Amino acid sequence: MRNEEMLEWRWAGLFEHTATWPITHHKTFPGLPKIKPIVPHFITALKFDASLWTSRPKPPNYHGVWPPTAASHLMNVDTNLHAIGSLAKQANFLRKNGDLVKEPCLGKYCWQSTAWGSDFFCAQDFDARAQCDHSVPKWMTGCSSWKLRFEIRSVPRMGYGLYAKQRWAKGDILGLYLGELIPEPGVNTDYCHQVKIGPEFSNAEAQVAYVNARRFGNYTRFANHSCDNNANIVEARIGDERVLALRAIRNIDPGEQVSVDYRSDYFRKRRCCCGSNKCKYSKPIDLVTAGEKCKLSVMRHKPLPLLQSVASRRGARAKKR
């Protein structure tokens, strides 16, 4: 059994005994109804069931392995142009689909410091001539000490919440959002996040899947909603794989709850309990537009804004040369 598999097996068992680990400060609150939240099995990689994908037709504009037999097939951001055929076929393919689009790489390890400043975690994003050999399993080894940096506490009306044990700066990556990689969001979408699958091209609409952390997940899925959130879940990349990452959008102090914006889809027939002066959903949302219905109650997240920053800085360096 590999180390990663052993960790997954051990941590999954520990999550079943939530009274002792890893939930801290577990208590009930007088005057409030008792809440028994669903606590997932802890995982260190995306959960994948190939049987959910084998009978599905290959999506249009999808240029990866089909049917996929591993999550890495769907999350792969690279494409093999030689497999398309002759140089003429490759040229026609690029004219039709445009340039390959990649998010910035998050580097070798979680929470690493780099010599290129907070905007760059990978040498290739700083210099296009550099090589990127990073991988998700190696990056995740840096997250094994997450309990030194975060803790999970009971929260009134919300079940459990994720709290910082150290200071985090704006732009810091707090971890990956993990769960089951599924083709459709299903009925309960409370823990679903949309993610693009396969290589992305500038002239083609990317296909999507969903990461559902309801039954399987890690500490990031305990980030509650706040209308004055201090973090967001965004798309990024590690090596040749696309990932969902929890990223601080402002400084987070020790003892502060890490929160994200669940967006309006979540608050259909629900009232927000964040208590913020900036609360946007103090009343349940009843009326939705046709466009909102198409979202199937799944939040859409913009890619990391580093991409534009990387491109502009590369252009500035090219002009200096």
pLDDT tens-digit readout, 205-257: 888 999 999 889 999 999 999 999 999 999 999 999 999 999 999 999 999 99
- Closest listed residue to residue 223, CA positions, set 266, 184, 182, 185: 266
CATH of residue 239's domain is 2.170.270.10
The structure's pTM equals: 0.78
Strand partners, 164: 150
Residue 57 lies in a domain: yes
Instruction: State residue 131's pLDDT score.
Output: 84
Residue 98 lies in a domain: yes
Round the CA-based radius of gyration of the chain to a whole number and report it.
21
From CA 269, how far away is CA 287, in angstroms rounded?
10
Instruction: State residue 39's pLDDT score.
Output: 61
- Average pLDDT across each block of 10 residues of the chain; the chain has 321 residues. List them in order: 34 35 46 52 92 90 86 91 85 90 89 67 80 91 90 85 94 94 85 92 90 93 93 94 96 96 81 83 58 40 44 48 51
Query: What token pair was written down for 31?
Result: 């005057």
Instruction: State residue 285's pLDDT score.
Output: 59
Residue 93 lies in a domain: yes
Q: How many domains does one find in the chain?
A: 1
Instruction: State residue 118's pLDDT score.
Output: 57
From CA 300, how far away is CA 194, in angstroms rounded?
6
Residue 197 lies in a domain: yes
The CA–CA distances, whole Å, from 72 to 44, 96, 152, 243, 310 equal 14, 26, 29, 10, 25
Residue 252 lies in a domain: yes
From CA 291, how far away is CA 282, in angstroms rounded?
22
Residue 22 lies in a domain: no
Instruction: State residue 307's pLDDT score.
Output: 46
Bridge-based pairing state of the strands 231-238 and 241-248: antiparallel
Which 3 state secondary structure label does DSSP give 219? helix
Provide CB contacts within 8 A for 87, sequence distance 6+.
none
Which 3 state secondary structure label does DSSP give 294? coil
Identify the domain containing residue 46 by its residue range: 3-17+28-320
Instruction: State residue 310's pLDDT score.
Output: 43
Instruction: State residue 38's pLDDT score.
Output: 54
- Closest listed residue to residue 253, CA positions, set 124, 316, 166: 166
- Closest listed residue to residue 159, CA positions, set 29, 308, 303: 29
Instruction: State residue 177's pLDDT score.
Output: 96
Instruction: State residue 125's pLDDT score.
Output: 76
Residue 186 lies in a domain: yes
Residue 289 lies in a domain: yes
